[in-house]
A and B are shown apart, each in its own frame.
Chain A
Amino acid sequence: MLTMLKNAILNLVKPSATINYPFTPIPSAKEARGALKIDGPLCIFCGLCSKACPAQAIQVSRADKHWEVDPYQCVNCGACVDVCPKKCLGFEEKYTAAAQKKSNVEFNG
């Protein structure tokens, strides 16, 4: 009883435990899997990432030299990052903000 009373009184003077989102950005951990990114010029359009993706979020066309990911279908597991032979795939530490319009992340070589 007194333990919780002590906590309740301390809470009056302590700073807030929550973040004033979206005005204050959320701090992300080091090497967090926020959003998939590609270092374009390195990509050879081999399509291994597309084959490894469990959510079928990545489309690659070798003929058109086109790479595309649907960030709303991506589950941020990192299976594509593991198989990439050129190590051009990676993760941004920041989580993507909510968007009004859904659009894919594309890259043309």
Chain B
Amino acid sequence: MKTVIPFGPQHPVLPEPFHVKLHMEGETIEGLDLQVGYCHRGLERIFQTDYKKVTFLIERICGICSFLHTLGYVRAVEEIMELTVPRRALIIRTIMAELERIHSHLLIIGLYGDALGYENYFMQSWRDRELVMELLEYISGNRVNYAMNQVGGVRRDLDEDRVKAAHKAIDELEKRTGDISKVLLNDVSIKLRTQGIAKLSKEDAIALGTVGPVARASGVAYDVRNTGYLIYPELNFKPIWETAGDNYARMQVRIRELFESYRMVREALKLLETEGSGEIMLAIKPNQRPNGQAFVRTEAPRGECFHYVKANGTPDLERVRVRTPTYANIYALTKMLPGADLADLPVAVVTIDPCLSCTDR
């Protein structure tokens, strides 16, 4: 019997508010209509203000990838103003960006366990996430919305104590992630619920323009960190990808990315130690203002994030445009879900790691 089920925007199993109209044939999903836009706050209009203030406002787009939004924005403004950021600031930015990826991935791994009905797993994962949250608070002064970036550099330096604390936290996290990943990748009941379900083929992944772990799990080895911004080329970064394209592969990519991030944070911390203290912020004169436009790409935990900035020589910006990874990824659900059971919907939604406050802004 054919039925249509409205799903969301408020629903206990949905992590984020979006609406899905499910066309069902019995228990099987035949097709779905997606609708986003329930979190619109008009932030892009608010960004048409002093370019220095926007750094603090733009990180309020999203609580999880708040550093990446400031990173994309300051990179765009620095490109317009033709500034060369001090090397130490670039290393600190890389460390922050990778720590943020670690906390975002641990969060979604916990939610994945929750969607599968494995509450214990969710609690373990989020307890481990506290380690990196506390480290971020120690480094930046706040658990989220770090206010670390400013046009021309970073606002806080990593002293010896903080580098030591970071090494300690990363060692502990790597050990605990080893435990978590064993369960996620080897448990028979988890495999039964995730392998071969909600598949996204490589062709569809490219045609829909998916980014981040969703694309990489379908065999598209595409990672913006490869384009060589910050100090990624020095850290020998290589994109991590799988070919299966199902729920299992998408989480496998995230787990493997966690270990890659631990390695990169360690190497970046060593660079900080060996190179000694240095300048972290360029002095910008009050009459030095951006004039022109720039367009940069940054790899957020969820995928590629675009930032476009247009300035006209006054302190106030003319336009700031953000295209977030979830906007590219969420329509992959329309190709993934047909043929799957209704009970697989929450798990499939979690594996694309949606963030609607980013998407709607």
What 1/0 flags go to A65-109 for Cβ under 8 Å of B?
Answer: 000000000011111001000000001000000000000000000
Asked if residues B179 and A32 are in contact (CB atoms below 8 Å), the reply is no
Partner of A78, one of B120, B124, B155, B179: B155
User: Contacts A4-B120, A52-B53 given: A17-B138 contact, CB under 8 Å?
Assistant: no
B contact patch SS: helix
Alpha-carbon distance between A33 and B147 when the two chains are bound, in angstroms: 10
- On chain A, the residues within 8 Å of B155 by CB distance are 78, 82
B52 at the binding interface (Cβ < 8 Å): yes
User: Contacts A29-B134, A75-B60, A78-B155 given: A4-B121 contact, CB under 8 Å?
Assistant: yes
Q: List 27 A-B contacts (CB under 8 A).
A: A1-B187, A3-B179, A3-B182, A3-B183, A4-B120, A4-B183, A7-B124, A8-B120, A29-B137, A29-B141, A31-B141, A32-B137, A32-B141, A33-B142, A52-B53, A53-B53, A54-B50, A54-B54, A75-B56, A75-B60, A75-B145, A76-B142, A77-B145, A78-B147, A79-B52, A79-B56, A82-B155
B57 at the binding interface (Cβ < 8 Å): yes
What 1/0 flags go to A7-34 for Cβ under 8 Å of B?
Answer: 1100000000100000000000111110
How far apart are A97's CB and chain B's nearest CB, in angstroms? 17
- On chain B, the residues within 8 Å of A76 by CB distance are 142, 145, 147
Asked if residues A77 and B121 are in contact (CB atoms below 8 Å), the reply is no
B127 at the binding interface (Cβ < 8 Å): yes
Partner of B127, one of A8, A17, A33, A79: A17
- On chain B, the residues within 8 Å of A1 by CB distance are 183, 187
- On chain B, the residues within 8 Å of A53 by CB distance are 53
- Cβ-closest chain A residue relative to B178: A3
- On chain A, the residues within 8 Å of B127 by CB distance are 17
Alpha-carbon distance between A82 and B155 when the two chains are bound, in angstroms: 9
- On chain A, the residues within 8 Å of B50 by CB distance are 54
Question: Which 3 A/B pairs are nearest by Cβ-Cβ distance?
Answer: A54-B53, A77-B56, A33-B141
- Cβ-closest chain B residue relative to A75: B56
Alpha-carbon distance between A93 and B51 when the two chains are bound, in angstroms: 28
Alpha-carbon distance between A52 and B60 when the two chains are bound, in angstroms: 17
Asked if residues B120 and A30 are in contact (CB atoms below 8 Å), the reply is no
Alpha-carbon distance between A33 and B57 when the two chains are bound, in angstroms: 17
Partner of B138, one of A3, A30, A91: A30
| 8 Å CB interface, B101-152 against A | 120-121, 124, 127, 130, 134, 137-138, 141-142, 145, 147
Alpha-carbon distance between A53 and B52 when the two chains are bound, in angstroms: 10
Partner of B141, one of A7, A8, A55, A91: A91
What 1/0 flags go to A40-76 for Cβ under 8 Å of B?
Answer: 0000000000001111000000000000000000011
How far apart are A81's CB and chain B's nearest CB, in angstroms? 10
- Cβ-closest chain A residue relative to B281: A82
- Cβ-closest chain A residue relative to B142: A33
- On chain B, the residues within 8 Å of A32 by CB distance are 137, 141-142
User: Contacts A3-B182, A4-B120, A78-B155 given: A54-B57 contact, CB under 8 Å?
Assistant: yes
How far apart are B48's CB and chain A's nearest CB, in angstroms? 13
- Cβ-closest chain B residue relative to A56: B53
How far apart are B54's CB and chain A's nearest CB, in angstroms? 8
- Cβ-closest chain B residue relative to A78: B147
- On chain A, the residues within 8 Å of B145 by CB distance are 75-77
User: Contacts A7-B179, A29-B138, A54-B57 given: A77-B147 contact, CB under 8 Å?
Assistant: yes
What 1/0 flags go to B138-180 for Cβ under 8 Å of A?
Answer: 1001100101000000010000000000000000000000010
How far apart are A17's CB and chain B's nearest CB, in angstroms? 5
Alpha-carbon distance between A78 and B148 when the two chains are bound, in angstroms: 10
